[in-house]
Structure 1
Amino acid sequence: MYHAVGHRPADRVYGLSVSPGAFRTQMEILARRGFTPLTTAALAGSWRTGRPLPPRPVLITFDDGYEGVHRYALPVLAEHGFAATVFVTTGWLRGGHDEGGAPDTMLDWGQVRELASTGVEIGGHSHTHPQLDQLDGAALRAETAGCREIAAAELGAPPASFAYPYGYSTRRVRRAVRAAGFAQSLAVGNALARRRQGPYALERVTVRRRTGAAEFARLVEGRALARSFAVDRVLTKGFAVVRGARRVRRRPG
């Protein structure tokens, strides 16, 4: 799971960004080790139908829709012939649906269409990137179904895959994503995706600014995940408790 790719991203996304050079090195590692990148939809389709997966399958995903994905990542992906999925926050992209509040320079819809034309899968990532579990039913539908409708209008086809903002979901959120028409969705979890997780809670591994080449190689091989993300898991459990308490307090008596 990537976010921004750039030399000097904004402070708000810096820790979750990678430099163009680091991204190129990481893609070279995947190529040397014989990994076969595929889209999120292709992975889910294989698991649903029983079609065999390619050798050493891996997902390369980008959340939010930062402009550097087009500027820096797309040429490297094209060099290797790698598939990828970009999950866009439709209200952050530059263009007619821009709601403001984006943390850095985002893709515009022309760039999103160019990504799609090269075979990059475009998925949904909500409209304004809220914590979906804190929304009431109407707002949750607007963020999920609204995101899909905007993407469909801009791209000519509705997106099939979704990624949860902040990587977190509840059963109610997953039902809303499914009801909006998405066929599969990704969380974070910082673990390898497994079929048993189900199509609406597939896990990913976070790549950060501090992720060096050796650590990246370990992560894609599924090694040292617990050690690398021990702090993240503790924080995630704590945030889940806090979010649950907030939700309970907001319910009418």
Structure 2
Amino acid sequence: MYHSVARSPNAATRALSVAPEAFAEQMALLHDRGFTPVGTARLAAAWRSGGPLPERPVLITFDDGYEGVHRHALPALAAHGFASTLFVSTGWLRGAHDTGGGLDTMLDWDQVRELAGAGTEIGGHSHTHPQLDQVTDAALRFELLRCREIITAELGSRPASFAYPYGYSSTRVRRSVRAAGFAQSLAVGNGLARRRQGPYALQRVTVRRTTGIEEFERLVEGRSLARAFARDRALTKGYALVRRARQVRRKAIRSRD
């Protein structure tokens, strides 16, 4: 799971930004180790049908829609003929639908179309990037349907895949994503995606600016994941308790109203 690929990211995106040179080195490692990148839709379809996959499949995904995915990541992917999936927050992209929420320089729709034309799968990532499990049913439906509607209108085909903003979901959110017409969705989890997770809770591994090439190799080989992300998981568990308390409080307020 990547976000921004940039030489000079701003403070808001720096931690989850990867330098272009580092990204190129990581793609070269995947090539040298015999991995074959596939799109999210292809992976899920193969798992559903029992169809074949390459011997060492890997997903390369980008969240949000930062301009560096076109400027820096696309040439590195093209050099190896690699597939990838870009999950866009439609209200963050530059152009007619821009709500002004983007954290750094975002893609415009011409660039998204170029990425799609180069073989990048374009998936949904909501419209304005909220924590979907914290919003009302009406707001959740809007975020999903508006995102799907805009991608369909701009690209001429409906998106098949979705990724949860911040990685957060719930049973309600997953059911809504399915009802909105997305066939599969990805979380974070910092673990390898496995069929038993189900098509709406597939896990991914975070790549950061601090991820060196040796650590990257361990991550893609599935080694030392628990140790690498122990702090993340501890923080996630603590924040999950806070978020559940907020949900209970909101439900209590709505029931009184």
TM-score (norm 2): 0.98
Give the equivalent residue in structure 1 for 2:115: 115
Q: Whole-Å Cα distance in 1 between the matches of residues 191 and 183 of structure 2?
A: 21
The root-mean-square deviation of aligned C-alpha atoms, in Å, is 0.6
Q: Which amino acid aligns with 2:243?
A: R
Give the equivalent residue in structure 2 for 1:243: 243
Q: Whole-Å Cα distance in 1 between the matches of residues 12 and 58 of structure 2?
A: 28
Q: Whole-Å Cα distance in 1 between the matches of residues 89 and 242 of structure 2?
A: 24
Give the equivalent residue in structure 2 for 1:199: 199
Moved over 6 A (4+): none
Deviations 1:31-88 (A, max 9, x none): 0000000000000000001001111000000000000000000011001000000000
Give the equivalent residue in structure 2 for 1:130: 130
The question of 1:16 aligning with 2:11 is answered: no
Q: Whole-Å Cα distance in 2 between the matches of residues 233 and 213 of structure 1?
A: 22
Q: Whole-Å Cα distance in 2 between the matches of residues 176 and 244 of structure 1?
A: 19
Match runs of 1:10-159 below 5 Å: 10-159=10-159
TM-score (norm 1): 0.99
Q: Whole-Å Cα distance in 1 between the matches of residues 56 and 28 of structure 2?
A: 15
Identity of matched residues, %: 72
Shift of 1:9: 0.7
Deviations 1:92-111 (A, max 9, x none): 00000000121100000000
The question of 1:174 aligning with 2:171 is answered: no
Q: Aligned with 2:58: secondary structure?
A: strand
The question of 1:189 aligning with 2:164 is answered: no
Q: Whole-Å Cα distance in 2 between the matches of residues 229 and 57 of structure 1?
A: 22
Task: Report the number of matched residues.
Answer: 253
Q: Aligned with 1:13: secondary structure?
A: coil
5+ long unaligned stretches in structure 1: none
Q: Which amino acid aligns with 1:190?
A: N
Q: Whole-Å Cα distance in 1 between the matches of residues 241 and 178 of structure 2?
A: 24
Q: Which amino acid aligns with 2:207?
A: V
Deviations 1:94-149 (A, max 9, x none): 00000012110000000000100111000000000000011101100011111011
